[in-house]
Amino acid sequence: MIGPDRPNPLIYGDFDRMVTVVVRGERFAVPEGIPLIRALQYMQFELGRLTCDWSLFCFNDTIGCCACKVRKPGADEAEGARACCLRVEDGLEVVRMPRSARVLPSALSLAEAELARGASDGPDDPGGAP
Ligand code: FES
């Protein structure tokens, strides 16, 4: 069944489980073994946590338009990669995103920011009640 727990296999392919990737220090569960560029789309369209202008990408390894930097599991150093060619694995870390891709704050972190702003700004109606 397709749904939040079972993403559409026509888009993300067949997979057996979810793996954790780290993007800009935050952990995301994505389908195992899909290309990183698809995992980023999963983060955008299924999780609502990424924005990207996909019209900038060729999707077929021609011009390096998806260049990024990753640290593979167990590696000490980050290395350059193409997001359309690299398949995600558990513990993969994206240390530099492809161009225009940006992680969005979660609804929870937005709510926390709003609460913090409200706590520091004081009441919304400075005139107060009569
Ligand atoms: S999407 Fe163009 S080279 Fe990867």
CATH number for the domain running over 9-103 = 3.10.20.30
Is the minimum distance from the CB of 111 to ligand 1 under 6 angstroms?
Answer: no
Q: Which of 41, 54, 63, 99 to mutate to test the pocket of ligand 1 (most atoms within 8 A of CB)?
A: 63
Tell me the two tokens of residue 113.
Answer: 């920011």
| Burial of 6 (C-beta count, 10 Å sphere; 0-12/13-18/19+) | exposed
Record the pTM.
0.80
Is the minimum distance from the CB of 61 to ligand 1 under 6 angstroms?
Answer: yes
5 CB neighbour count, 10 Å cutoff: 7
pLDDT 10s per residue in the chain (130 long)?
A: 445 566 777 888 888 899 999 998 899 999 999 999 999 999 999 999 999 999 999 999 999 999 999 999 999 999 999 999 999 999 999 999 999 999 998 876 667 667 777 765 555 544 444 4
Is the minimum distance from the CB of 56 to ligand 1 under 6 angstroms?
Answer: no
The atom of ligand 1 lying closest to the CA of 85 is: 4
